[in-house]
Structure 1
Amino acid sequence: MENTAEAPAPPTEAFALADADADTARSWLSAAFAAQRAEGVSGALSAAQQQTIARILTLDWWQAIASDDERKDDDPANLLAEFLPAAVRSAECIPFASLVLALYLRNLVNEAWALSWDHTLIRTAVRRAVATARESEQDPVATLAWRMLDAMEREFDVEAALLTGRLHAVVALGQDAASDYADIVTAAEKLPPQPGRETLLAEARSEHCYYTTVHRIAQSTLALLERESTDESAALLQIDADIASADFRAVDASELRGHRASLAAVNEAADRPWLHIDEGRVRIVYGFGILHPHGREGNEDLVALREGLDRRREEGGGLGALRIDKVLRSLTLSDAWQGSDSLGRGYRGSILHLEDLLLEGAAHEDGREVLQVIHGRVQFSELGNHAVVFTIDLDGAAAYEVAQAINLATPVFGDLSEIPGMLHLRPASAPHTTISRLADVVSDILDDLREVLHESRGIPDADAISARAGSFGVIVTVEAASRDLGGECTPLTSARELVELWGAQPLLHPLPGGASGVADWTMYELGAVEHFDLLHLNDGLLSANANVSLLTSFRSPDYAVSEIEDFLEFAHSMHGMYQAWQSTVRTHAERIAGLLERVDDQLRIADAAIEADDHRAQEEAVERIGDLVRMTERAELTLQSFVQSKQAIMLFIESPTIVASPALRIDLSTVLRSNRYDLLRDGFERAVRDVLGTRLQPLLEVCHRRIASLQESRQAARERRTERMAQVLGVILAVVGLSGLVQVAQAGFDLRGDITWWFLWAILALTVVLGATMLLPSLQRGRRRERSRRSRRRPGREDAP
């Protein structure tokens, strides 16, 4: 424990409040650690340790972690576990440093919290620091500062509960957080005045007031939704007074306004008729696609998957945490899908049934209450629109309970592993297994499917599954509903009445990511909801938005509703299929771009060889360019083959033959239109045009022109060499002819002695003159032609590939 009796106190700004500037605290701590090391104090941070701690205790480092920019070889959790305890122990030996460090860490964690809904890393930082501080005796104010840092874990719990949309959990955990801060306030008020105490007390009071207010808002909202109260106006007035009297930070005040708005919306609607779902279900669809290697048919992968999963089931294995219950070799579809075309194509595939998931409530002495049973299956389609589907039955569900079921789909659903005492998601066969959220179940299932595909293909490094992060679809089917007025329910007779009732908001509004209030669905604006008419249903209603579709009919048989429900699932699963197609197009585009870059490099090498008059280098460059262009054209043909096969699927999806009757075809088209299928198709076709259309063909034409130019240059050089050889041979023949003439003259005139040498020198001189006369003009013409070719064929900017 440090001795603060005679030590000079840090400046007031060094005791950092959350959301305040903490530069002074950071600078003071840095100087204190450096001075401690200079004094040779045992346990002081080394220069290397302080440098690392200075890096990880900055918002820049946390931002890099949130954006995945931090080096992968430095595991963030390991860095925190290794270096934070050293900083805490070192601070204990410096007067006031432990208090300053605790408040600074709270400030930093609060800033990092704003970057992500994921609490894993910030919980690690809090736990490591607090656990180390508890190992030794601290100054009383510093002890409370570490307790206040530890209390942030209860704050994370409250946010996790808010992200689940479960108000019972928010009420209980909000009370826990408020109680923690109340204890800190009480303890701080008993301490004598000393540096840092007032800052700590102000912070604890603010947080106590904040979480007390959240607890009261959630409690009053839940009372209204459960019909235990019909008017919470008095609670609203008290909440307003508490907010007005407290000195909240701007960000806290804005959050409380959002929570209060939820309560006010429910309170205003208390006297209105509410929606009550008597019979229905929620389907959550996570579409995905399978990426097939070139030359491997999609059906091969489906057969391999089915066989591999069947083996897993026989061996007692599963997908993710879920046991495989059954593998069906065909889709369980209605007669509506019995269409086929002249090629024998149809909507066919296989289904994998998984064990149920159970969502349980708070733990009690007599066990946990099962809040929801979630049925799971994986559906494989020969068309390529695969999906993981979860179904939740609705039986006598109030509006807020439907909102809770829909909220399970979001990827930012609260991490239930953080609040296991309040909510517990588990496989039906594993009571002690804890699952964080439904989206993580899907991730684990897809990872295991990758593993099965890798085993069957023998290509372990290639990603076999494509799924867009955050992509899902929710289908809410209502077959019976009531008008709830003050707790008295009257059955609805028309589907059109449903959308006019309060409580229909979560069925008609896109499911957002995050939480803006204790019941933010109560504030959804429904002006942009689009309704679609269906031929196949009596008095049916289809409403759709970005990720939620509502299907309602009270006068149609169950099989007819199920057929349209299957259409909706088919439409939502299209997103995964098109994601896989887009990924394949992107892979082809990247390969073609890489080949074209290599072509450009070789063209530069060829230009340099021409300038240097290096014929061998020219030939090698031309040969390599030709090989690369042929590879590029083969890659283009592979992409075109892929695109044509997918266009055939698109034509089949839009053809009348995919379903059994024209009326069903009209309804399927309506469902596809409600799900913005045209945007998926247009996006894919646009990506293909960008790769194969206006950009690739001109580049290939430029390459072909350059190859032809280089080949022409090489041909011209060969012709010049041949011409020069012919000219040399002509000179040789002329010399031979003159030699023969001299021999005749010698024999005829009997020339001997010195005159013979004169004839020899004359012949040599004449040979030189004739050779120069024949060769020099040819060489000059060749040089002029070469300079002309270089200036004319040197590539300009517009020819660059």
Structure 2
Amino acid sequence: MHRDLVEALSEGELQPLREWLTGNQVETGTLHELPQWDSARFPELLPSSRRLADRTDSATAEILAQLPKAAAAPGGVPLLLLFVLLSVESEWEISYHYQPMWDTLSGARNCLRDHGAMVTGEDAVLARAVLAMMESLAAQISAENAMTTGQLAAQEAALDTAVAKSREAAGLAGRAAGEYPDLSAFLVDRAAECETYNTAVGAAVHAVRDFLATGASLDHAIANLEAAEGGEEITDSVYLSELRANRFSLMALNGVRHEPWLRIDQGKIVYLYPFATRGVPPQAVLNSIGEGADGWRLGGVEPLAVNSSLKLDDVWDGSDAFKRHYDGALVSLPGVVMCGTDGEELGRFQAEIRFSKLGNHHVRFTSDITNVMPAELYAMTLRAAPEHGAVRVTFEGNPYTVWPRLADLAVQLAEDACRRLRETEATAQADVVARQGMFQLVVTVDAASTTPGPASSLPRREVRTVSDLFKAVGAQVLTNPVTYLIGSLAEWIRYATDNELSSTTTGLIGEQTVRTSNTTVIAALGAAAFTQGTRGSVAEFAASLDGLFAGWSLELADHYERVDGFQTRVDAAERHQDMSAQALSALSRELDAEKIRLNDFATGARSTIALIRSPSLMASPVVADSLRLVLEHCGFQQRVAELNAMIEEVADEQLGVTIEKLARQREEQEAKEEERRENRQRAKLEVFLAVIAAAGVSGIIQVLQAGFFESDGAATWAVVGVAGILFVALLLGLLLWPRSRRNR
């Protein structure tokens, strides 16, 4: 029984099982979408930040609705649960949004807990086996979540749970071999494979923890991984690739066990989340903040302070001819606390929102770096990304409002600020452009040392040159961007220090700035603390420009859509020829207004870009050069070129062509209407003249006859009367003669 289904599942084919369930009246569409983060059936809590609403109740209700249908067929309920399990596994392969997966698995467990009475016999035993596999899968997802947050202890604990639940599933499945031999064997094999894999990885995590704490050898853990990889229990290609990736990472760690390891003794890490406000000028935003931001609630808390300055040093007091400079307003917020799912505190951050006169606004979280080894530094950098695992992020004093990561909180703060701006009449049209993935890290290294191995307790040797800094084990964390995914333990050890993803600038007294797509590292060993303020502000300024460009791009997208709408209307008018010249003139005025709006936007954007490029933005030519180099390395020029190309495309290739086409249509339509008007006037004239001719000729003859036959005086008056009649006819003819409107 079920042999064909089991054989297909063994080959990774889910469709036959789906068809079998459908044949038993089970509706599989919603079931399959339950764990999908982007499912249209389940609304998001915050669409822009992709924080997902809890789906546990939805999953419970949906599985319960299908349970009686499945229960009518032998083995139906275990197969229904297996379909849900495999749907979650499929989603896990492509998504870092773990919550919908956990919710789906929890919903299945709740459903069987409360309504399992309808399942009896060996069906019930197999159903419990699949539920145990679900709990094992939930623990594996928790282990990956812990890995992406740098919580090795939590990862090891989750893997131990996964192993225990796999053993439980195998034991339960074996008890149903009598009635369902094929399905039982399939579940036993999967459970055994899962147990072997998680046992090997769990041992590797434990070994890495010991290695980082004491420098203990990883030889035994590497051998275990190799044995699991080459054994017969694991056949799944995904599992095998992960074992291999972990083995390579442990081998790389083991190979540098006795080399100098980097230790950041003192530094700072800044998490920047740029955003833009559209629909209102930046100065209006600053005015609204100055008038009432101290009473706002942002992310559920009130600001600690609102400052009308960004508190920049005087190097930003430039010499722009139009008195423009970089400054703005600063909204300081309570401190932010990040804790792991097990309650362990992972970090504390100062939080603020910076609003700029130039429009490069950003949410800013800051944390000190003290006595940090590479693995810890790597975990700290990962906290910026939307791919960071789910943790608990709260404001101090408000533990009840929780975000799963810093990126979610940052987007929430930007959106809340925009909502409050819309409460003021001057900024009622404000709209926000904020995305989780639009982040930048700025890391400052003030003091560093090396230890002869990974243990932080080993003797330290002060690092005095940047060259020595980047030679130490762990420096690759500083020279690579924050990754969008993690595939193995201590994956950072396999990163290359010298790579094409980063660029380096050397400044005064040997300090170096290393720039990647989402990080800036300032290594200025032995520099006085107050000198770091300028370097940091330059790096943060360049990093914050992402929001400005995002806002401009969206503004251009709006222009594009409006122009596209104009094109559609103009093309329709050309096809149907049903628009009057007056309607075409009105449409032309709309196009002219759009052209003015686009020109105003382009002028404003290019003016801001010119100021950013200008040496007059900074008071110091040396600092201006530093900013120029940072901008070059962050692709500023390329983004400007792309923006200009988009402006030209909308202005010339779309709007210009549309205006020209409309002008031709308008001219043709006016000519047609003028011709029709002239024809009507000519017809009127001809009728009038015909009447005059008919009545006038006979009348003139009568007048002349009467005058000539009465007397000389009467004849004279007859001639004068006839002349008058001819004069009036001539005058009316001139007045009624058709004229071209274009000559008026």
Q: Is this a same-fold pair by TM over 0.5?
A: yes
Deviation at 1:15, TM superposition (A): 8.1
Contact 1:473 1:572 in 2 (8 A): yes
Q: Deviations over 1:601-650 (max 9, x none)?
A: 23334x2x5xxxxxxxxxx6211111011111111101111211221111
Q: Does 1:542 align with 2:513?
A: yes
Q: After superposition, what is the alpha-carbon deviation per residue over 1:456-514, rounded to whole angstroms, capped at 9, x for unaligned?
A: 14887x66111244111111110111121133310011112111111011111011112
Deviation at 1:739, TM superposition (A): 2.1
Give 1:231's aligned residue. 217
Deviation at 1:285, TM superposition (A): 0.8
1:205-244 pair list within 5 angstroms: 205-226=192-213, 228-244=214-230
Q: Deviations over 1:347-391 (max 9, x none)?
A: 11111111112234575xxxx654422111111110111111111
Q: Is 1:54–2:54 an aligned residue pair? A: no
3-state SS of 1:165 partner:
coil
The answer to whether the aligner puts 1:252 opposite 2:239 as a matched pair is yes
Deviation at 1:409, TM superposition (A): 0.4
1:20 matched to 2:48? The reply is: no
2: CA distance, partners of 1:476 / 1:508: 11
Q: Is the 8 A contact 1:19 1:111 kept in 2?
A: no
Distance in 2 of aligned mates of 1:11 and 1:455: 64
Which letter does structure 2 place at the counterpart of 1:528?
E
Is contact 1:18–1:107 with CA below 8 Å preserved after alignment?
no
CA distance in 2: counterparts of 1:427 and 1:72, whole angstroms: 26
The residue identity in structure 2 corresponding to 1:166 is Q
Other-structure match for 1:475:
442
CA deviation map 1:10-47 (0-9, x unaligned): 445258747722333333333344xxxxxxxxxxxxxx
Q: Which residue of 1 aligns with 2:334?
A: 355
TM-score (norm 2): 0.86
- Structure 2 SS opposite 1:357: strand
1:430 correspondence with 2:398: yes
After superposition, the C-alpha distances for 1:28-85 in whole angstroms (9 at most, x for unaligned) are 333344xxxxxxxxxxxxxxxx4xx232234xx569x555555869999475343311
Deviation at 1:729, TM superposition (A): 3.2
SS of the aligned residue for 2:484 comes to coil
Instruction: Supply the distance in 1 between the matched residues of 2:704 and 2:177 (Cα, whole angstroms).
Output: 138
**1:339 lines up with 2:318 in the alignment:** yes
SS at match of 2:279: coil
In the alignment, which of 276, 300, 307 is matched to residue 284 of structure 2?
300
> In structure 2, how many angstroms separate the alpha carbons of the residues matched to 1:184 and 1:28?
23
Measure, in 1, the Cα distance between the counterparts of 2:442 and 2:11: 41
Any stretches of 5+ residues in structure 2 without a counterpart?
46-52, 710-737, 739-744
Distance 1:122 1:88 in 2: 20
SS in 2 for 1:117: coil
CA distance in 1, matches of 2:465, 2:254: 27
SS at match of 1:488: coil
- Residues 281 and 478, structure 1, Cα contact 8 Å, conserved in 2: yes
Secondary structure of the structure 1 residue equivalent to 2:312 = coil
Distance in 1 of aligned mates of 2:339 and 2:436? 27
The answer to whether structure 1 residue 124 and structure 2 residue 103 are counterparts is yes
Q: Which amino acid in structure 1 is aligned with residue 86 of structure 2?
A: N
CA–CA separation in structure 1 for the residues paired with 2:697 and 2:332: 102
Q: Which residue of 1 aligns with 2:689?
A: 730
Amino acid at match of 1:231: S
Q: Equivalent residue for 1:586?
A: 557
Residue among 493, 508, 518 paired with 2:479 = 508
Paired residues of 1:16 and 1:104 also in contact (CA < 8 A): no
After superposition, give the CA deviation of every residue in 1:73-113 in whole Å (9 maximum; x if it has no partner). Answer: 99994753433112224434543212222222222221232
Question: What displacement does 1:728 show?
Answer: 2.9
Deviation string 1:173-212 (CA, Å, 9 cap, x unpaired) is 1122122212333444566544122111111111111211
1:432-453 Cα offsets, whole Å, 9 max, x none, are 5543111111121122112101
Of 261, 268, 278, which aligns to 1:281?
A: 268
Q: Relative to structure 2, which stretch is displaced further, 203-212 or 584-593?
A: 584-593
**Corresponding residue of 2:70:** 91
Q: Does 2:625 match 1:666?
A: yes
Question: Aligned equivalents of 1:572 and 1:18: distance in 2?
Answer: 49
C-alpha RMSD of matched pairs (Å)? 2.8
Q: 1:458 to 1:337 in 2, by over 3 A?
A: closer
Among all aligned residue pairs of Structure 1 and Structure 2, give the percentage whose two residues are the same amino acid. Answer: 24
Contact 1:534–1:667 under 8 Å retained in 2: no
**Separation in 2 of the partners of 1:22 and 1:224?**
41
Q: Which residue of 2 aligns with 1:551?
A: 522
Query: Counterpart amino acid of 2:147?
Result: L
Distance 1:190 1:632 in 2: 76
User: What corresponds to 1:167 in structure 2?
Assistant: 152
Within 1, Cα distance between the matches of 2:135 and 2:207? 28
- 1:141 partnered with 2:126: yes
Q: Give, in whole Å, the separation in 2 of the partners of 1:12 and 1:694.
A: 59
After superposition, the Cα gap between the structure-2 partners of 1:86 and 1:371, relative to the gap in structure 1 and judged at 3 Å, is closer
Q: 1:641 and 1:192 mapped to 2: Cα distance?
A: 76
Using the alignment, how far apart are the partners of 1:76 and 1:90 within structure 2? 26
Determine if contact 1:539/1:555 at 8 Å carries over to the other structure: no
Counterpart contact for 2:479–2:516, Cα < 8 Å: yes
What letter corresponds to residue 645 of structure 1 in structure 2?
G
Quote how far apart the aligned CAs of 1:562 are.
1.8
Aligned length: 688
Give the structure 2 partner of residue 705 of structure 1: 664
Mapped to 1, the partners of 2:574 and 2:610 lie a distance apart of 42
Instruction: Report the CA distance shift for 1:389/1:22 in structure 2 as closer, same or farther (over 3 A).
Output: same
The answer as to whether partners of 1:592 and 1:636 remain within 8 angstroms in 2 is no
Give yes or no for the alignment of 1:408 onto 2:388: no
* Cα offsets for 1:375-427 (capped at 9, x unmatched): 111111101111111112111111111111111001011012xxxxxxx4332
Q: Distance in 2 between matches of 1:187 and 1:72?
A: 37
Cα distance change, pair 579–235 in 1 and its aligned pair in 2 (3 A): same
Q: Aligned pair in 2 of structure 1 residues 477, 735: CA closer, same or farther (>3 Å)?
A: same
1:685 aligns with 2:659: no
In 1: Cα distance, 2:168 partner to 2:700 partner: 130
The Cα of 1:248 is off from its aligned counterpart by 2.6
Alpha-carbon distance in structure 1 between the residues aligned to 2:16 and 2:370: 58
Greater Cα offset, 733-742 or 379-388: 733-742
| Other-structure match for 1:793 | none
Q: What is the one-letter code of the residue matched to 1:471?
A: M
- Equivalent-residue separation in structure 1 for 2:288 and 2:560 (angstroms): 28
Three-state SS of the structure 2 residue aligned to 1:695 is helix
- Please tell me whether the aligned partners of residues 126 and 149 of structure 1 are also in contact (alpha carbons under 8 angstroms): yes
Q: What letter is aligned with 1:209?
A: T
Q: Distance in 2 between matches of 1:233 and 1:517?
A: 17
Is the Cα–Cα contact under 8 Å of residues 588 and 659 in structure 2 kept in the other structure? yes
Cα pair 2:298 2:417 within 8 Å, conserved: yes
Measured in 1, the distance between the counterparts of 2:545 and 2:505 equals 21
Matched position secondary structure for 1:289: strand
SS of corresponding position for 2:422: helix
1:661: how far off? 1.5
Amino acid at match of 1:185: A
The one-letter amino acid of 1:545's match is T
Structure 2 CA distance, aligned partners of 1:197 and 1:728? 102
Please list every run of 5 or more consecutive structure 1 residues that lacks an aligned counterpart in the other structure: 1-8, 34-49, 313-317, 417-423, 610-619, 751-781, 783-801
TM-score by length of 1: 0.81
1:204 to 163, 188, 191: 191
> What SS is found at the alignment partner of 2:369?
strand
1:456 aligns with 2:424: yes
What is the alpha-carbon distance in structure 2 between the residues aligned to residue 132 and residue 555 of structure 1?
A: 62
Contact kept in structure 2, 1:230 and 1:271, CA below 8 Å: no
SS at match of 1:585: helix
Equivalences for residues 301-340 of structure 1 within 5 A = 301-312=285-296, 318-340=297-319
Shift of 1:321: 4.4
